[in-house]
Structure 1
Amino acid sequence: MSWNDKASNGAGRGADDESLGREWRIGVDIGGTFTDLVAIAETGALRIAKVPSTPDRPEQAVLDGLDALAAAAGETVAGLLAGCRLFVHGSTVATNTVLEHKGARVGLIATEGFRDSLEIRRGIRPDPWRHREPYPPVLVPRHRRLPVGGRIGASGEELEPLDREALDRQIERLLAEDAEVVAVSLFNSIFADGQERAAAAAVREAGLPVFVSSEIAPVLGEYERTSTVALNAYVGPRTARYVSELSDALAARGLAVPMLLTQNNGGMITPAQVAARPASLLLSGPAAAVGALRHHCDTIGSDNLISMEIGGTSCDVLVMADGEVALTDALDIGGHFLAMPSVDIHTIGAGGGTIARVDAGGMLAVGPEGAGAMPGPAAYGRGGQEATATDAQLVLGRLAPGPYAGGAVSLDADLAEAAIRRCIAEPLGIGVEAAAQGMIRLLEQKLLHALEHLSVEQGHDPRRFTLVAGGGAGALHGAAVARRLGCRRVYVPRLAGAFCAFGMLHSDIRHDTSRVHISPLDSADGAAIASRLAEMRAELAAALAEAGFAEPVWQYGCDLRYQGQQWDVTVPLGASFDLARLREGFEQRHRQLFGHVQPRGTIEITRLRLAGVGPVAGAAPAGPAPAQGDPVARSHRPVWIDAARGRCMAPIYEGADLAPGHAIAGPAIVNEQTTTVLVGAGDRLEVDAHGNYAITLDADAAEDKR
């Protein structure tokens, strides 16, 4: 963890082959369509690989990517891994396990009378206009949700002892049902966990792995805790198996350091720690965007950033306000609630492979379904028959036929045009180009709504923010969507197409914990709170010490709400328990979120939070040399720019020709190794000192006419 890179700050193309060095940091991100790998050497030399994902065997894409990465670095795989000092991986295995319904056979031990809380939920419909739509099947069917006697009161007192005989009988039933893993969620266990621990011990004695709700999710709400522990049990065996097998495969190929994995909160953990909380990998890949944003705060010169990372399958939106990224523990994963500290990411099905179709009412619809890695868009020539966003970009001239995504695939314009004609243009009775334009405009409207959800709806003024366009497709939509949102600048990293893989190399070791603590704010016992926080700190210190951090950075917080309010607001808690400062912070955040405060309202504490962070020095690529002369376009081609201008002959630049100091006036296209940048009419692109692209939007452009 202590290896510090010697390179200058930046995100350029890296040093010459002669100075590659022998020590590497490697980040690997498995996406729905491509698997991205980034390697940064001690000298600052940078190498990238992008290979098709292999959903049925995700570890194969990692190994294929290492072959490609080693070739790009002029190394053998054994040589590359032998020199690796940090290997960080973002995995989609846990997420896919939930979405594909391929999890373990879970048994649930619940308090008598509460076996159905998992199925009853909260009774709240996310969309009231779709009240007939059924919820997804519960992770644990009723015949494996078994009750036991025993009861804990709201103050932690034991009202009824745990029925050990009933517990033994239920464990026998679960064994007869071939349960592979057991989740234990007993009523009010957050106030006293003795009965849960006793039940878990009995399950372990019977030879079954077990997850306990008070350890996994110490939060209020029986459904929230039960759903969270059930999710961990459901994804646990498959996730643990994948992590173990990949770790063994990497070690066999020469990796001498333990593999680390990014988790939901944007930090890194070890494989052993993943086994204890496997659902911490449900946002493993997208959460690494936090590390990328922290790196780019310095290169952009601003700590107010909105990232829009668009890959082949989805768009992940993340907001950094005043240098802080919001966390949440109210996630929806495939229709199942997860109460674990996670980066507040909003994900929609809108990527390069997003499928467009004409619905039964004759209306154009885009997404959320995607073509995936196989067969992918029609243009890939792998048998895909549906019209996708990538096909539309190709028809509109924004993408060019031939090698794409670093040569991982090749685009065929005839196949793209045929798919759009068959699936969209003919059913709507319009031309192919008009159909492609409609697909892109509708997709960008969905992207705009996703950005508004985490910015405007959270009380942020987009005019203060720079939009960071990441992912292979982000830079094609960045300028248009930012203009509609109200941002004035767009920033496109050179490594946009490997945004999260790069972010993994700038992530810290991080562990979060929390405890329910209900008390009126004005009469809170500061000594009791300090004692509880000390217990939490001791718990996290042990986990951080395993990773080599004896003196981590501690971040304190607490959840507050008005008395009788359902939703909490998290407020930072400083070194001392200052009641006036907590009230002020709560009211400021409450006004930002809800537009009002209660000046003399009774505020109560509901939960204490603690994060322990082990800082890891970032690995920055070497900056490129300054520009010599003016930028020169390699070619020109007709490109559809927007609705007001239609097609025009746009200059096509190659990123390899652009260096710090170069500036380009739009409209223009820049082809990069992992992305394609569309510069709108009237916009100005400049290459900054780090080799990244800063786009200043035309303030006079009327986006509503485009």
Structure 2
Amino acid sequence: MPYALGIDVGGTFTDAVASDGAGRIVSAKTPTTPDRREVGVMRAIEELAGELGIGVGELLSRTDYIAHGTTASINALVQGSVADVGLIATRGHRDAIYIMNAEGRTLGRSAHEIQDTLRGRKPAPLIPKYRALEVTERIDYAGQILVPLDEDEVRRVARQLVDQDVEAIAVCLLWSFKNGVHERRIRELIHEIAPDMYVTLSSDVSPRIREFARTSTTIMNAQIGPRLRTYLTPLQEKLEQGGLKGPLLVMQSEGGTITADRAPEHAITTVGSVLSGGVIGGMRLAEQLGHHNVITTDVGGTTFLAGLIVDGEPVMAAGSIVNQFPINAATIQVHTIGSGGGALASVDAGGNLRLGPQSAEAVPGPACYGNGGTRPTNTDANLVLGIMSERGLLGGKKPLRADLARLAIRQHVAEPLGLTVEEAAIAIHEVQNAQAGDLLRRAVVQAGYDPRDFVVYAFGGAGPAHCAGYCQDLGVSEVIVPLGPVASAFSAYGLAASDVIISAEFSDPSAFPIDHTVLESYYERLESDLQRALDRQQVKFQSVTLQREIDLRYSMQVSELTTPVPATRFTAETGEEILERFEEHYERINGSGAGYRAAGVQAITYRVRAKANLGFPVELPRIGDAAGTDPSEALIEERSVCLDSQLGFQPTPVYDYALLRAGHELVGPAVVDVPTTVVVVPAGVTGRVDHLGNLVLSYQ
């Protein structure tokens, strides 16, 4: 029987899921190995093989594909562990990356940070100026060559960069998004001098107008591409040596995968790969449960992530920002803060309790892990509060030490604030819930939606312990904790259930609507490009669907809204239909009546996304029904637990998830022990086990 594997390499744990497509799904969780992530990946696969009762070689030989999400790209950018890159730009335009379109002090910063003008700083430049060189050429706004490329100058510039020992070269010319012929010729000339040089072209990775964002995207792609190749190549070789016959696929920010041998060319699309898996898993679960609007919340060891699914599809964004630099790559819109289970608790100079964004990560981990960590974390607080047992995680394989947790909280939080250890622990727990709740409200309301129209899915190692708290004031109808065989490996499940997704786009700013025959020619061109890209994947697809989009804005505005384009044949009425969709979206975000057609509308970027289904069913299996609603058969103990600062410690029943069945109901306060996580059911909340083994929390 064939298998599909999903592997999610997080900052603290590496999660893995295997599905046989016939209803059997198993999961595994192992510590991430930061220095050599492939080691943690192979250990996770070994755990999966053990759960299935077969050898690693047999599992790999029967695997149709492995979908892999990695933090390697985003971590490299955030930590500055990137390749040395040179830039070739049009003469007179290399400084675009340093001027930063006058946005350098504000991009990616909160309103509070922007208002603090005395502390506002531009970020360090992506590359030093001596590695940013220029060549003579000019293509105009219509894509016509005005000044031919000076090839001798290109050879001299390329030699200068090679002599500086750069590991990659980014090429970004002024109007290359209209005509990339000069960029392609520069790549040929570079390879005449350095055949193995990693070269990335803006016309390939970001054919959009706006020079600064296009240049930063191209440079960052060059910075992480060589390192991603260095990581993926030995991993793929190790898997193939172990018997893997199917492809290794890498998750992209927009919620689909790409083959590992193609991923380094488009490395920038993998920056948000681990953020997307949970949203895709939520989308698949929503299909089974019949939910159309879902807020996905993933509380891992390092971060809290929130995404939206509206009408069955993830909410997307045209780009993102990392280190105050823009990235032109379509992405599932995921809101994140550094507030996971390993978030470090501290007291600032003003005597305020802070949680995150720094994390204990996998090494040394929370103090209670006993691996040398001395700073208190959210996990340490949950242990002191009785939410977690000293039996620990991973089915007892990772016992926890309450004495070390208490010591860390006492030294770093309780004594500075004049609190008892228990008071400090519940304060940490409630700060976590408050931070997460604030993020959820912003994520939903700022997108123009009402939280009352949504259900929440809560997963990740720490999500089930906090979800009832951070959703309490949100107004949602239900909170669903996906358990069953995926439990805290839900993001890995999303990876295994993902499609291959590839996008093609180009900018051509003009007044809209345009003639429908021109519109049709644009999308025919994009769809033809996508078909060639799909053919290069060398993967068999069961089906391929295309999604057309266009970025529109009112004249004189500076930002666009991505608007869906009908999948039908274009007619004279198509432009008007697109405009109606644009204005409906605009008014949902900005308020009824905010639209103003008389100002004129501009089309900026045209885009098509191909979603290729791999044909492997990855559905969560049903579980057995209970004889009634009483869960007492699953009761394993009663322990003193504090879930509320007002109620303090109370005798609380603890249930073994493995003994719960569909139909069982738990009345809070209660705790459910799961091998890889723990679920909290506070007072005033009822938990019901559904037919897939999920715990559905409802507020009384």
Do Structure 1 and Structure 2 share a fold, with TM-score over 0.5?
yes
Structure 1 distance, partners of 2:289, 2:357, is 32
* Code of the aligned partner of 2:530: L
Could you give the per-residue CA deviations for residues 525-551 of structure 1, whole angstroms, max 9, x where no partner exists? 211121111111111112223322485
2:544 equivalent in structure 1: 552
- TM normalised by structure 1 equals 0.93
2:56 equivalent in structure 1: 77
* Distance 1:413-1:187 versus aligned 2 partners, 3 A rule: same
1:6 equivalent in structure 2: none
Deviation at 1:274, TM superposition (A): 0.6
Could you give the per-residue CA deviations for residues 44-76 of structure 1, whole angstroms, max 9, x where no partner exists? 222211110011111010011122222222111
Q: Which shows bigger deviation, 138-147 or 307-316?
A: 138-147
Deviation at 1:300, TM superposition (A): 3.0
2:293 equivalent in structure 1: 304
For the residue of structure 1 that corresponds to 2:580, the secondary structure is: helix
CA contact (8 A) 1:356 1:424 kept: yes
Q: 2:138 aligns with which of 151, 156, 159?
A: 151
* Code of the aligned partner of 2:149: L
For the residue of structure 2 that corresponds to 1:694, the secondary structure is: strand
Matched ranges for 1:300-339 at <5 A: 300-339=289-328
Q: 2:607 aligns with which of 600, 606, 609?
A: 609
1:167 equivalent in structure 2: 154
Deviation at 1:275, TM superposition (A): 2.5
Q: 2:180 aligns with which of 193, 206, 228?
A: 193
Deviation at 1:138, TM superposition (A): 2.4
Could you give the per-residue CA deviations for residues 560-599 of structure 1, whole angstroms, max 9, x where no partner exists? 1101110101111002441222121111111111222115
* Code of the aligned partner of 2:601: I
CA contact (8 A) 2:296 2:307 kept: yes
1:589 aligns with 2:591: no
Q: Which shows bigger deviation, 352-361 or 124-133?
A: 124-133
2:493 equivalent in structure 1: 502
CA contact (8 A) 1:51 1:408 kept: no
Q: 1:679 aligns with which of 671, 674, 681?
A: 681
Structure 1 distance, partners of 2:14, 2:255, is 19
Deviation at 1:285, TM superposition (A): 1.6
Structure 1 distance, partners of 2:10, 2:192, is 39
Structure 1 distance, partners of 2:61, 2:179, is 48
Q: Which shows bigger deviation, 307-316 or 150-159?
A: 150-159
Deviation at 1:80, TM superposition (A): 1.5
Matched ranges for 1:219-258 at <5 A: 219-258=208-247
Deviation at 1:100, TM superposition (A): 2.1
1:477 equivalent in structure 2: 466
Q: 2:164 aligns with which of 153, 163, 177?
A: 177
* Code of the aligned partner of 1:108: L
1:283 aligns with 2:272: yes
CA contact (8 A) 1:562 1:603 kept: yes
Deviation >4 Å, runs of 4+: none
Instruction: Extract unaligned runs of 5+ from structure 2.
Output: none
1:128 aligns with 2:107: no
Structure 1 distance, partners of 2:397, 2:565, is 48
2:414 equivalent in structure 1: 425
1:626 equivalent in structure 2: 625
For the residue of structure 1 that corresponds to 2:472, the secondary structure is: helix
Matched ranges for 1:487-526 at <5 A: 487-494=476-483, 495-522=486-513, 524-526=514-516
Instruction: Extract unaligned runs of 5+ from structure 1.
Output: 1-21, 699-706
- TM normalised by structure 2 equals 0.94
2:17 equivalent in structure 1: 38
CA contact (8 A) 1:111 1:186 kept: yes
For the residue of structure 2 that corresponds to 1:472, the secondary structure is: coil
CA contact (8 A) 1:50 1:406 kept: no
Q: 2:661 aligns with which of 642, 646, 659?
A: 659
Q: Which shows bigger deviation, 628-637 or 98-107?
A: 628-637
Structure 2 distance, partners of 1:550, 1:110, is 42
CA contact (8 A) 1:150 1:163 kept: yes
Could you give the per-residue CA deviations for residues 632-666 of structure 1, whole angstroms, max 9, x where no partner exists? 12111111122332222111011001111111111
For the residue of structure 2 that corresponds to 1:115, the secondary structure is: coil
* Code of the aligned partner of 1:215: D
Structure 2 distance, partners of 1:471, 1:277, is 28
CA contact (8 A) 2:542 2:613 kept: no
What is the aligned residue count?
676
* Distance 1:457-1:408 versus aligned 2 partners, 3 A rule: farther
CA contact (8 A) 1:544 1:552 kept: no
Structure 2 distance, partners of 1:579, 1:256, is 47
Could you give the per-residue CA deviations for residues 380-419 of structure 1, whole angstroms, max 9, x where no partner exists? 0001000100011111111111221444522111111110
Structure 1 distance, partners of 2:350, 2:21, is 58
For the residue of structure 2 that corresponds to 1:277, the secondary structure is: helix
Matched ranges for 1:52-67 at <5 A: 52-67=31-46
Could you give the per-residue CA deviations for residues 439-471 of structure 1, whole angstroms, max 9, x where no partner exists? 122222221222123211111100010110010
1:535 aligns with 2:513: no
Structure 2 distance, partners of 1:568, 1:622, is 42
For the residue of structure 2 that corresponds to 1:567, the secondary structure is: coil
1:637 aligns with 2:639: yes
Q: 2:7 aligns with which of 28, 50, 56?
A: 28
Structure 2 distance, partners of 1:164, 1:255, is 45
CA contact (8 A) 1:190 1:214 kept: yes
* Code of the aligned partner of 1:536: L
CA contact (8 A) 2:279 2:296 kept: no
For the residue of structure 2 that corresponds to 1:411, the secondary structure is: coil
1:598 aligns with 2:609: no
Structure 1 distance, partners of 2:318, 2:101, is 16
* Code of the aligned partner of 2:689: V
Structure 1 distance, partners of 2:396, 2:636, is 19
Deviation at 1:216, TM superposition (A): 0.4
* Code of the aligned partner of 2:631: P
Structure 2 distance, partners of 1:328, 1:44, is 34
Structure 1 distance, partners of 2:34, 2:522, is 44
Q: Which shows bigger deviation, 133-142 or 184-193?
A: 133-142
* Code of the aligned partner of 1:651: P
For the residue of structure 1 that corresponds to 2:604, the secondary structure is: strand
* Code of the aligned partner of 1:160: V
CA contact (8 A) 1:235 1:279 kept: yes
CA contact (8 A) 1:203 1:209 kept: no
* Distance 1:550-1:626 versus aligned 2 partners, 3 A rule: closer
CA contact (8 A) 1:506 1:616 kept: no
Structure 1 distance, partners of 2:188, 2:170, is 12
Structure 1 distance, partners of 2:661, 2:20, is 21
Could you give the per-residue CA deviations for residues 243-263 of structure 1, whole angstroms, max 9, x where no partner exists? 111010011111111211111
Structure 1 distance, partners of 2:528, 2:256, is 19
Structure 2 distance, partners of 1:388, 1:420, is 8
Q: Report the RMSD for the aligned CA atoms in angstroms.
A: 1.6
Structure 2 distance, partners of 1:674, 1:277, is 34
CA contact (8 A) 2:541 2:614 kept: no
1:217 equivalent in structure 2: 206
Could you give the per-residue CA deviations for residues 181-232 of structure 1, whole angstroms, max 9, x where no partner exists? 1000011211222222222221122212210001100112111100111111
1:579 equivalent in structure 2: 575
Structure 1 distance, partners of 2:474, 2:621, is 33
Could you give the per-residue CA deviations for residues 149-201 of structure 1, whole angstroms, max 9, x where no partner exists? 22222232333222223222111110110111100001121122222222222
Deviation at 1:491, TM superposition (A): 0.4
Q: Which shows bigger deviation, 169-178 or 296-305?
A: 296-305
CA contact (8 A) 1:398 1:669 kept: yes
Q: 1:138 aligns with which of 112, 125, 129?
A: 125
For the residue of structure 1 that corresponds to 2:446, the secondary structure is: helix
For the residue of structure 1 that corresponds to 2:272, the secondary structure is: coil
